[in-house]
Structure 1
Amino acid sequence: MTHRDRFQAVYDAHYPAIHQYAARRTGSPDDCADVISETFLTAWRRIGDVPEGERALLWLYGVARRVLANQKRGASRRAVLAERLRNELAAGRPVRPVELDHVRAAFDRLPERDREVLGLACWEGLSSEQIAKVVGCTAIAARTRLHRARKRLAAALERQSSLTIAMGEA
C-alpha cells in the first residue's frame, strides 16, 4: 500500500469522528475546519507514524487535541493584545508609527550573513537552535553568529547616532 493509499484509508475511516471531535470543541465552522485540516495535514506528513487500525483514531485525537490547544493559545494572545490596544486608545495616548529609517539603513549596511541571522531571529522569531537548522550549522555557531551580528548592528547604530549628533552641532 502506498503512502497515498494509506492516508486515504485513514482519512476515509476517521474523518467523521475527527469532524465531530472538532465541532464539539470549537465555536465556529471556520475553527472546526482549521482543526480538521491541521490534523489531517499532520497525518499526511507523518503517515509512517500513524498506527494501524483503531489506534489510528486515538493518534488523530491526540493530534487534534494539540491543534486545539494551539488554537486556544493563539486566541488568548490575540485577546490580550487587543485589550492592551483598547486600553491605550481609551487612555487617549496617540498611536504613532515609530520612525525606524535609521535602523533600516544600519541593517542594510550589514553584510548579508549578518542580515540573514538577524532577520531569522527578529522577523521570524527563531531561536539559535532553529537558525542553525535553517542555515546549516551547529547551534553554537548560530548563537555566535547572532551575537556578533547584533554587536555589529549596535555599533552601526552608534556610529550613525554619533554622525547625526555631529551633523546637528555643525
Structure 2
Amino acid sequence: MGEDEFTAVYAATYRPLLGYALRRCDSPEDAADVVAETFAIAWRRAAEMPAGDQARLWLYGVAHRVLANQRRGARRNTIKAAALRAELSAGTPPRPAPGGDGPAVADVFRALPDRDRELLALVAWEGLSHAEIATVLGCSRNAVGIRLHRARGRFARALRAAGVDDPSAAARPRAAAHPARSSRSELT
C-alpha cells in the first residue's frame, strides 16, 4: 500500500475509529492514544492491510487489540501501584512526635529551590555518589561537589533561620577527625 492509499484509508476511517475508541475508553485522551497507536501499527504493517472496506474492518481489529493491551497495562499498573503502596506503608518510618523538628525540617526542605532539593535528595535519599549524580544531571563531578556544598549551606542557613538546629551537625566530623585540618589550626 502506497502513501496516497494509506492517506485515503486514514481519511475514511479516522472518525469511525475515534468514535469506536471514545465509546470504550475512560477519557478522550485514552481514546486518542488508541487511535494514534492503531494508525502507527497500520503504517508499519501497511503491506498487510487489505483493500477497500476490508481495511476499515482490519483497523477495527487492530484498535480492538490496542484497547486490550491498554486495559491489561492499566490493570498491571493498578496492581503494581497497590503493591508499592502496601510496601511503602509497611516500611514507612514513624512520623516525628508532635513538637519535634521533623515537620519544620520538611517545610524548610520543601522551601529550598528545586535544584538544591534535587541535589540533596540524590545524596540523602538515593545514596548516589558525586560521580553518579554528575551522570544523572549531565554535569561534571566537580560541579556536583560545588553545587552540593552550596546547597548544604543554603539548607543549613534556612534551618537556622527557621529556628531548627542543623540535625546533621551532631553527626558531622569535627576538625580533630581531619588530621590535616587540625594540624593547620594548631599552627595558626
* Structure 1: tracts of 5 or more residues without a match: 102-170
Q: Distance in 2 between matches of 1:9 and 1:41?
A: 15
The offset of 1:35, in angstroms, is 0.3
Q: Distance in 1 between matches of 2:127 and 2:76?
A: 26
The offset of 1:39, in angstroms, is 0.5
The offset of 1:89, in angstroms, is 2.2
The offset of 1:91, in angstroms, is 2.1
Provide the residue aligned with 2:75 in structure 1: 76
More helix by share: 1
Conserved 8 A contact 1:6-1:47: no
The offset of 1:47, in angstroms, is 1.3
Q: Which amino acid letter does the alignment assign opposite residue 17 of structure 1?
A: P
Structure 2 residue 63 is matched with structure 1 residue 64: yes
Map 1:5-154 → 2, pairs under 5 A: 5-93=4-92
The count of residues paired between Structure 1 and Structure 2 equals: 100
Q: Distance in 2 between matches of 1:60 and 1:35?
A: 11
CA RMSD of superposed structures (Å): 2.2
* Structure 2: tracts of 5 or more residues without a match: 94-123, 130-188
Q: Distance in 1 between matches of 2:51 and 2:70?
A: 28
The offset of 1:69, in angstroms, is 0.8
Identity of aligned residues (%): 54
TM-score by length of 2: 0.48
| Runs of 4+ that moved beyond 4 A | 96-101
Cα deviation, 1:88-108, whole Å, max 9, x if unaligned, reads 2222445x978799xxxxxxx
TM-score by length of 1: 0.53
Which of these two proteins has the greater Rg computed from alpha carbons? 2
Q: Which amino acid letter does the alignment assign opposite residue 85 of structure 1?
A: L
